[in-house]
Amino acid sequence: MENIKKKEDQEYIDSVLEKENVSTKHNTDFYKKLDSSFLIGSLFVSVLYVITVFLFPIAGVFNNHVINFIFTATFIFAVSYIVFYLLFWVVGLFFKKIRNYKFNFIAKLVISIILAIIITNMMTVIACRSTPTKATRMLIKDQINNLGAEGCTDPILFTKSRSTLIEEGITITTGLGPEQVYFINPENIPNFDTKDNILKYGASSSKRVMMCVLCDNGKTGLEKALQAHDINTTINSTTDEKILCAVYPRKTSTN
């Protein structure tokens, strides 16, 4: 009788262990597949980002800064996930006992998300600290190769010490002469004055705006391009033989 009970107990223990093994194998397979899916998705996002930036080499992938932030953060997450996937794989070759697929997947996911948020925020802060002159000059370099399209910077801070844009300052190293750039204020943003061939911010408090540039061939081409973007203004030029650019501030989403 005792032997029968021992046998029953052993069979019960074996059944419990078998169920645990089946459950463990199921969880392992699930997280391995999930990990592989995230790796494939990360590779796809990384390639898509590189292709997009290559095809649209302007100031930011998109003019919508929220979308730009999300797309950049997703790219950084994807790259981070690929790096940590390879790192965990290499470590797993030498230390097989740490192959806890659930833990590894969650660790890679959390670390990649944190890195994406931190790095994207740092990039945004650095972009926002760029001087108006430097950011506008870089944008002009892009837009002279993107005629007829409006390009805008990330929000830039104008202060009492950084209040003025002049034609000579924003055209250095761009290939344009000062006479090929015109300042306008189509949204009539307060305290931005475009007289005397300069753009000057005249308030004592600081102001964050996006600087935008639109270029086209000659006076006629530029005026038509501006009209296509609902900007009706006259360019004070008589040439239709050179590239001309309109430079102007735009309100941010928080204005």
Are both 223 and 179 inside the same structural domain?
yes
The answer to the question of residue 47 being in a domain is yes
pLDDT of residue 225: 93
The answer to the question of residue 204 being in a domain is yes
- Dihedral sign, Cα of residue 243, residue 176, residue 124, residue 209: negative
3-state secondary structure at position 212? strand
pLDDT in tens, 59-101: 344 445 567 778 888 999 999 999 999 988 888 777 765 567 8
Are both 122 and 143 inside the same structural domain?
no
pLDDT of residue 22: 43
pLDDT in tens, 153-175: 888 888 888 889 999 999 998 99
DSSP states of 92-130:
HHH-GGG--HHHHHHHHHHHHHHHHHHHHHHHHHHHHTS
Pull the structure tokens for residue 137.
């000059």
Kindly give the residue spans of alpha helices, DSSP state H, lying in 144-237: 167-171, 218-228
Pairwise CA distance, residues 61 & 81, whole Å: 22
Domain that holds residue 124: 2-128
The count of structural domains within the chain is 2
Are both 124 and 204 inside the same structural domain?
no
The answer to the question of residue 83 being in a domain is yes
The answer to the question of residue 226 being in a domain is yes
pLDDT in tens, 100-113: 788 888 889 999 99
The answer to the question of residue 79 being in a domain is yes
pLDDT in tens, 2-32: 555 455 455 545 454 444 554 455 567 788 8
The answer to the question of residue 48 being in a domain is yes
The answer to the question of residue 139 being in a domain is yes
Question: Does pLDDT of 114 surpass 70?
Answer: yes
Q: Choose one of 128, 152, 180: the last residue of a domain.
A: 128
